[in-house]
Amino acid sequence: MTSSVPLDLLTWSPWQPLLECWKGDRVPRQPGLYRIRRIGHSDIDYIGQTGIGTMHLRSRLAMLKGIYGDVMPYNDPHTAGPALWAMRQKTGEAYEVSVVPVEGSTPWRKGMESLTIGLYRQEQKRSPTFNFGRMPSGYRKSSGNSAWIVEAGSDSEADRRTRPTRSTFLALRRSGVWEVIRMRKRGVDIDGRNGCQSPLLLRHLDLLMWGSIGFEASLSRDCSILARGK
């Protein structure tokens, strides 16, 4: 890649290893743009911006430390974390990062991000590998890390990719079914004496065990019916 934007607008820093770049003063504590690629590649894997509130380049890149863990990181605090983790698991390649401070308003900074991505697309005839929610083939993006997920109890890599949505979880909790599901997940025998007699619940009980999230809509609707006592 030659130049993402005209040099009189942005001048990128030299490439440096992504791992622990957030330590010391290797990355400025300023708002700006950043780009990530695999070492030895010319194509870019991700282009992002940061600077809202107290966020800055150093703290934003520190949010990617989870890509070096054993388990796929959540979709937050960094949306590119799952994809970068998956590609590292797939190829074993290391990442490097380049940054550029951008002063000004958030709309201006986001505009510069969009311009950078747009010019990259013109030059390379494709988007950065993992922008726009893309994942490596064979991997599914993990969920967000929210309080309702903690309450759900399980935190394995598989559960991060297959747990139900927040709306379904809330419907389950309102219907009084959630504790039954948690008992089932712990291997506790559940029969009619435990109050598990609703045809709707019996029809979906295995789906409630994270087995298939393709039935989320009907599951949420049926649990809402249970909650209303209909």
Comparing 84-98, 145-159, 189-203, which segment has the lowest mean pLDDT?
189-203
pLDDT tens, residue by residue, 47-68: 999 998 889 999 999 999 999 9
Average pLDDT, the chain: 75
Residue 85 lies in a domain: yes
Nearest to 1 by CA among 39, 32, 44: 44
Q: What pLDDT shows up at residue 143?
A: 73
Number of independent structural domains in the chain? 2
Do residue 46 and residue 93 come from a single domain? yes
**From CA 117, how far away is CA 110, in angstroms rounded?**
11
Do residue 22 and residue 100 come from a single domain? yes
Pick 111 or 150 by higher pLDDT.
111
Do residue 37 and residue 129 come from a single domain? yes
Residue 161 lies in a domain: yes
Residue 142 lies in a domain: no
Residue 40 lies in a domain: yes
Q: What pLDDT shows up at residue 195?
A: 42
Q: How far apart are the first and last CA of the chain?
A: 61
Do residue 38 and residue 77 come from a single domain? yes
pLDDT tens, residue by residue, 151-160: 555 444 444 5
Residue 64 lies in a domain: yes
**From CA 152, how far away is CA 85, in angstroms rounded?**
24
Do residue 20 and residue 126 come from a single domain? yes
Q: Which of 99, 133, 167 is the last residue of a domain?
A: 133
Residue-range definition of the domain harbouring residue 76: 16-133
Do residue 96 and residue 26 come from a single domain? yes
Nearest to 65 by CA among 97, 90, 109: 97
**From CA 61, how far away is CA 136, in angstroms rounded?**
21
**From CA 184, how far away is CA 142, in angstroms rounded?**
23
